[in-house]
Structure 1
Amino acid sequence: MDNINFLMYGEHAVDYGVMGALILMSIISLSLFIERMIFFKRVRMEEYEHRDLLEIDLTDNISIISAIGSNAPYVGLLGTVFGIMLTFYTLGDTGAVDTKAIMTGLALALKATAMGLVVAIPSILFYTIALRKIEKILTRFDVYYG
């Protein structure tokens, strides 16, 4: 396999593998956040006999949102490492310093990092908003039924 094919397949692996994983993580995070917000609006505190049972239902899937927010930068970093490795491999194999190839490879690597942050920042925001809503609902439960 020549350098062009290796670089092309490597770029596709980063684009479709890492970026695909990050897009999937983003979709999961957003959908769980929306589901939680709908649940919070519809929760009926009077149906719960004990605060802990309410808390179990309120915190369902919250840890997944947190895990996505925490791990998305690492997935992006993995894409960055792959992109830099591909760039250096191609440069080392050809033995020539091609500025265009270097810049293209580094841009690919940085795209993965940026996408990881684009997924992580809203996920952590979603998690924080959900935690605050949970605190408010549990406080209301304590005031009215505690």
Structure 2
Amino acid sequence: MPNLLLENEIDFIVFIILGVMNALCIAVLIERIVFYCVFKYENYKSLEEFEIGISKNLIILSIIAQNAPYIGLLGTVFGIMMGFNNIDDTGKIISALSGALKATAGGLIVAILALVIFNIFDRYNAKLIVKYKKLNNLVTK
């Protein structure tokens, strides 16, 4: 039976993509922490400018949180396909299914990490916006 295209490399490719997504999460985490440590309310002329500044790069976390499970699922689908492709060899079926489950778990781990980081920063940003409004007498009753 012919092998699927990239059969031996698909797990590696999926985990490389998930690794890049995870590295982006960590990079955004570090960038935002540094930003929050050095920013000053006085540097922003308007509420809109302030909101844009404090929410910079959070879209990356949102995109990763939404898409990492699908990357893991893609690895799972390919793993199951490889398992069925090698149905006459039990050892290869177990190996393919094991890789498939690892891809799913990897995708979920990356997504959960991105979502937790996003939610922490989103909540912190909401507090900063309230404080900015109070400092600039923009609070409405």
State the TM-score, normalizing by the size of structure 2. 0.89
Q: CA deviation at 1:137?
A: 1.0
Tell me how large the CA RMSD over aligned residues is.
1.7
* More RCO (CA 8 Å, sep 6+): 1
Equivalent residue, structure 2, for 1:33? 29
Q: CA deviation at 1:16?
A: 2.0
Equivalent residue in structure 2 for 1:24, among 20, 24, 29: 20
Equivalent residue, structure 2, for 1:131? 122
Q: CA deviation at 1:102?
A: 2.1
Stretches of structure 2 lacking an aligned partner (at least 5 in a row): none
State the distance in 2 between where 1:7 and 1:103 align. 17
Residues 1-146 of structure 1 aligned to structure 2 (within 5 Å): 6=3, 9-12=6-9, 14-91=10-87, 96=88, 98-146=89-137
- Equivalenced residues, count: 137
What secondary structure, in the 3-state scheme, does the structure 2 residue paired with 1:10 have?
coil
Q: Which has the higher helix share?
A: 1
State the distance in 2 between where 1:100 and 1:35 align. 45
Paired residues of 2:65 and 2:114 also in contact (CA < 8 A): yes
Q: Deviations over 1:46-99 (max 9, x none)?
A: 1212111011111111011111011000000000000110110122xxxx3x43
State the TM-score, normalizing by the size of structure 1. 0.87
Q: Which runs of 4+ in 1 moved over 3 A?
A: 6-9
State the distance in 1 between where 2:5 and 2:94 align. 15
Stretches of structure 1 lacking an aligned partner (at least 5 in a row): none
Amino acid at match of 2:68: A
Identity of aligned residues (%): 36
Paired residues of 2:86 and 2:93 also in contact (CA < 8 A): no
Paired residues of 1:11 and 1:83 also in contact (CA < 8 A): no
